[in-house]
C-alpha cells in the first residue's frame, strides 16, 4: 500500500477515490471503501482513500476532550489489511480548511488524483464552511467525466452509524453496540513497555501497552480482552487506569494473558476489547488485588466460552 502524508499526492494513473475522516473504520466507512475497491477493479483503476491528518476536529477544537477511536497508526494498519492501493493522510490546518469546495474537488481530487470515480457518503460536506456536498460534486464531475456516487448511510438498530455514536458507546462502556458498528472489536495497537513488574510477584505477569496519546480509551476499569501476537490470539483481562492500589499516577493499558509466558518487551500487540468486567478501584492490600485479578481472569475465561461471546463475535464479523 502506498502511504502519502504530505501534499505530493499526484497519481500517475486514473483512480477511484473515496473521501472522509474514517475514524474507527465503521460499517459506513467500510461500505464506501468496499465500493471504491469494487469500482477500481471493474474499471481498471487504482483505489484511493483520501483522509486528513490531524483530524479536523483536533484543529478546530470544537469538542472538548475530543479523542480518536483509532490512532493514526491503527488506521493505517487497518487500511493495509483492507487492501487499499493508496492511502492519503492529507495535512490539515486552518489554511487548508479555508480552501473553497470547488478548488478542493477540481485541483486536488479530479486533477492531481486523476479521479474517474468518486465515492462519498450521502451526507458528506467539505471545503470552506462545509459548502461542498454530493450535488456539487456530481455537477462538477459531469463536466469532467467523473462518475460521482453517493452511498446511503448505514443503519444499526434503526439509527445511522457514525463515529460520534461509537465514541458515545465506548464512553458508556457499551462495547457490544460499539463493536457491532465497528465490524470488529474496538482495539488498541501498541508497543509493549516495561512496567513495575508487580504482576510477576503475585503470579499474574502483565504486558503494558504504550498507546497513542490522542486515542480514545473506554472508562477506567477491567475488561475481557483478546490479544493478537504473531498470528495467535490469547484471551486475557485488561486494566485501563492508574493502578491506585500501588499509588500509580499515569494511565496505563495493562493486560494479563491467560496461558501465556513469553518475553514481549518492544513487540507490537493488538488487544481487542469485548466486555466490561468492573470499575477501577483501590484495594486495601496487594493480596486482595491478587484475588480480584484471579476472579477477573476466571470471569474472562468463562465469558469467552459463553453464548454471549459467540453471538457478539458473529455480529462483529458481519
| pLDDT one-digit tens code per residue, 133-156 | 999 999 999 999 999 999 999 999
Question: What is the predicted pLDDT for the residue at 286?
Answer: 74
pTM of this structure:
0.89
Query: How much of the chain is helix, strand and coil, in % rounded to 5?
Result: 35, 30, 35
Whole-angstrom Cα Rg for the chain? 22
The three three-digit cell numbers of residue 231, written as one number: 498470528
Query: Using an 8 Å Cβ cutoff, are 235 and 300 in contact?
Result: yes
For 12, the 3-state DSSP assignment is coil
Question: What is the predicted pLDDT for the residue at 241?
Answer: 85
- The residue with cell 494511565 is 251
Instruction: Return the H-helix or E-strand segment holding 250.
Output: none
Question: What is the predicted pLDDT for the residue at 42?
Answer: 97
Burial 105-134 (b: 16+ CB within 10 A, else e): bbebbbeebbbbbbbbbeebebbeeeebbb
Q: What is the DSSP letter of 244?
A: G
Question: What is the predicted pLDDT for the residue at 249?
Answer: 44
Domains of the chain: 2-157 (3.40.50.620), 163-317 (2.40.30.30)
Question: What is the predicted pLDDT for the residue at 317?
Answer: 42
The three three-digit cell numbers of residue 274, written as one number: 469485548
Task: Determine the Cα–Cα distance for residues 156 and 152; give it in Å rounded to an integer.
Answer: 13
Q: In the chain, which residues have pLDDT < 50?
A: 199, 201-202, 245-249, 315-318
Question: What is the predicted pLDDT for the residue at 204?
Answer: 65
Residues 6+ apart with CB under 8 A from 216: 67, 68, 69, 167, 170, 171
Question: What is the predicted pLDDT for the residue at 283?
Answer: 77
- The residue with cell 465503521 is 26
Task: Determine the Cα–Cα distance for residues 252 and 208; give it in Å rounded to an integer.
Answer: 7
Question: What is the predicted pLDDT for the residue at 312?
Answer: 67
Query: Using an 8 Å Cβ cutoff, are 213 and 200 in contact?
Result: no
| Long-range Cβ contact pairs of 263-269 (< 8 A, separation 24 or more) | 264/192, 264/207, 264/229, 265/192, 265/193, 265/194, 266/191, 266/192, 267/191, 267/192, 267/229, 268/189, 268/190, 268/191, 268/192, 269/189, 269/190, 269/192, 269/207, 269/209, 269/227, 269/228, 269/229
Question: Per residue in 159-186, pLDDT tens?
Answer: 999 999 999 999 999 999 999 999 899 9
Amino acid at each position: 500500500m502506498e502511504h502519502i502524508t504530505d501534499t505530493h499526492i499526484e497519481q500517475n494513473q486514473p483512480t477511484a477515490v473515496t473521501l472522509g475522516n474514517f475514524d474507527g473504520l465503521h460499517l459506513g466507512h467500510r461500505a464506501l471503501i468496499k465500493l471504491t475497491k469494487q469500482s477500481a477493479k471493474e474499471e481498471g483503476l487504482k483505489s484511493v482513500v483520501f483522509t486528513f491528518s490531524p483530524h479536523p476536529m483536533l484543529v478546530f477544537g470544537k469538542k472538548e476532550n475530543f479523542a480518536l477511536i483509532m490512532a493514526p497508526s491503527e488506521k493505517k494498519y487497518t487500511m493495509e489489511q483492507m487492501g487499499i492501493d493508496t492511502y492519503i493522510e492529507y495535512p490539515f490546518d486552518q489554511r487548508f480548511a479555508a480552501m473553497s469546495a470547488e478548488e478542493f474537488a477540481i485541483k486536488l481530487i479530479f486533477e492531481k488524483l486523476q479521479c474517474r470515480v468518486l465515492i462519498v457518503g450521502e451526507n458528506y460536506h467539505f471545503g470552506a464552511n462545509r459548502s461542498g456536498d454530493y450535488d456539487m460534486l456530481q455537477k462538477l464531475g459531469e463536466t469532467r467525466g467523473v462518475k460521482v456516487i453517493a452511498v446511503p448511510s448505514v443503519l444499526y438498530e434503526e439509527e445511522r452509524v457514525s463515529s460520534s455514536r461509537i465514541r458515545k458507546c465506548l464512553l458508556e462502556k457499551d462495547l457490544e453496540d460499539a463493536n457491532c458498528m465497528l465490524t470488529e472489536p474496538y482495539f488498541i495497537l501498541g508497543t509493549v513497555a516495561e512496567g513495575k513488574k508487580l504482576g510477576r510477584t503475585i503470579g499474574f505477569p502483565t504486558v503494558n501497552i504504550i498507546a497513542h496519546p490522542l486515542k480514545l480509551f473506554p472508562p477506567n476499569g477491567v475488561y475481557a480482552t483478546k490479544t493478537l501476537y504473531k498470528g495467535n490470539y490469547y484471551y486475557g483481562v485488561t486494566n485501563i487506569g492508574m493502578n491506585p492500589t500501588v499509588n500509580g499516577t499515569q494511565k496505563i493499558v495493562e493486560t494479563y494473558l491467560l496461558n501465556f509466558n513469553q518475553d514481549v518487551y518492544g513487540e507490537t500487540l493488538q488487544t481487542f476489547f469485548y466486555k466490561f468486567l468492573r470499575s477501577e478501584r483501590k484495594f486495601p492490600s496487594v493480596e486482595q488485588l491478587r484475588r480480584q485479578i484471579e476472579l477477573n481472569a476466571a470471569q474472562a475465561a468463562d465469558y469467552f466460552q459463553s453464548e454471549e461471546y459467540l453471538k457478539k463475535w458473529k455480529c462483529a464479523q458481519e
